[in-house]
Structure 1
Amino acid sequence: MTEPQSALLLRRQLAELNKNPVEGFSAGLIDDNDLYRWEVLIIGPPDTLFEGGVFKAHLTFPKDYPLRPPKMKFITEIWHPNVDKNGDVCISILHEPGEDKYGYEKPEERWLPIHTVETIMISVISMLADPNGDSPANVDAAKEWREDRHGEFKRKVARCVRKSQETAFE
C-alpha cells in the first residue's frame, strides 16, 4: 500500500526539521507509527514574558493535510490571549481556508496549503511575543494583557514559565 500524499509530505517536513533545526522549537512524532501526531517543544522567545519557558504542544494533522490545517494544543499550561483555557491555539493560519464568516480575517491570513510545520511554529512563536488582543481565545488573559500587562498578566505568565521549566523533560 502506498502512503498518502499527506504522510509523504509530513515525513519530508520532519526529516527537514531534523536535518536543519529552526531556532525556537523542536519537533518530533508522539508515536513513531503515527505521522499525523507531532509533539513540539517551543522555547519562550527572548525578550518576551515567555523567555526561558519550555512549552510542550501537540500538532494533530488531518488526513487531507495540506489542504486543511492541523490543530495545535498546548500541553504545558500557558496564559496567553490567543490560547484558550484548554490549550487550543487560536491563530489565523490554523483556521480553515477560505472566507472568514465573521469578516475578521482575510483569506490569505488563514490556512494555505503552502504552510509547513516550520511556518506554523514561526507564527506561533511570533504570537507568543506579540498577542492579538482583538481576537482572543482566552478573554481573561486578553483583558489582563490590555489592562495589567506588567502586573497580574506578567505574574501569571511567569508562573507558567517556571512550571514549564519544571515539567519540560518529564
Structure 2
Amino acid sequence: MSGGMAAARLAEERKAWRKDHPFGYVAKPEVEADGSTNIVKWHCKLPGKAGTLWEGGMFPLTLEFSHDYPTKPPRVKFPAGFYHPNVFPQGDVCLSILNPQKGWRPSITVKQILVGVQGLLDEPNIEDPANECYRDFKRNRPQYDKTVKLQTKRYAAD
C-alpha cells in the first residue's frame, strides 16, 4: 500500500473524527513548524473513565501511522514511564487490536483504537504484561491504586 493510500485513509479518519468522537477525547494530526499538517502522526488525549482510578486525568497518547496503514496498525504510545501493566517502559501500548498477529483489522478506526486504549486503562490484561507493575496489580493492589492515583493527578484535566 502506498503512502498516498495511508494519507487518504487518515484524511477520511480526521473528517469522521471531527463529525463524531467520544466526549472529552482529543485527536488531531501534528502541526509542523511551517504550519503544515503531518497526517501520519496524531497527538491525542484520553479522559480517564468516570468511576475509576483514572477519572479526572487527560492522558497524552501519540499515534504514529506507517505508509502501510491501514494494512498495519499504528504505533500507539503514552509518555515513557507511563504506569500501566500493558504499557512498555518506552510508552508503547500492548493491546490485541494493535497487534497484526492478534486483533488488528484494517477496518479498525482511530476512534476504536482510542476507546480501546481507554478501556484498557482500568481493565488491564495481566495475562500479557508489558512491564513489572502488573505484579503490584496482582499482589499489592493498594500500592498499584496509589500509584495510579498519583499518575492521574499528574495528568489532571485542566
Q: Which residue of 2 aligns with 1:160?
A: 151
- Aligned partners of 1:24 and 1:44 also within 8 Å: no
CA deviation string 1:51-82 (max 9, x = no partner): 11110010000101000000011127531100
CA deviation string 1:90-138 (max 9, x = no partner): 1111112x4xxxxxxxx4xx21111010111111111112110010001
Match of 1:127 among 88, 112, 120: 120
CA distance in 1, matches of 2:55, 2:140: 19
Match of 1:90 among 78, 83, 94: 94
**How far is the alpha carbon of 1:22 from its aligned partner?**
1.5
Q: Which amino acid counterpart does residue 78 of structure 1 have in structure 2?
A: F
CA distance in 2, matches of 1:43, 1:33: 24
CA deviation string 1:24-71 (max 9, x = no partner): 521001224210000110001111111111100100001010000000
CA distance in 1, matches of 2:118, 2:89: 18
Q: Which residue of 2 aligns with 1:52?
A: 56
Q: How does 1:92-111 map to 2 (within 5 A)?
A: 92-96=96-100, 98=101, 107=102, 110-111=103-104
Q: Which amino acid counterpart does residue 121 of structure 1 have in structure 2?
A: L
Q: SS where residue 119 of structure 1 aligns?
A: helix
- Aligned partners of 2:21 and 2:111 also within 8 Å: no
Q: Detail structure 1 runs of 4+ shifted over 4 Å in the superposition.
A: none
Q: Which residue of 2 aligns with 1:37?
A: 41
CA distance in 2, matches of 1:39, 1:76: 15
**How far is the alpha carbon of 1:4 from its aligned partner?**
1.1
**How far is the alpha carbon of 1:86 from its aligned partner?**
1.5
Query: Which sections of structure 1, spanning at least 5 residues, go unmatched?
Result: 99-106
Identical counterparts, % of pairs: 32
CA distance in 1, matches of 2:114, 2:29: 15
Q: SS where residue 159 of structure 1 aligns?
A: helix
**How far is the alpha carbon of 1:156 from its aligned partner?**
0.8
* Equivalent residue pairs, number: 152
Q: Which amino acid counterpart does residue 145 of structure 2 have in structure 1?
A: K
Is residue 118 of structure 1 aligned with residue 111 of structure 2? Answer: yes
Q: TM-score, normalised by structure 1?
A: 0.83
Q: TM-score, normalised by structure 2?
A: 0.89
Q: Structure 1 pair 76/14, CA: closer, same or farther in 2 (3 Å)?
A: farther
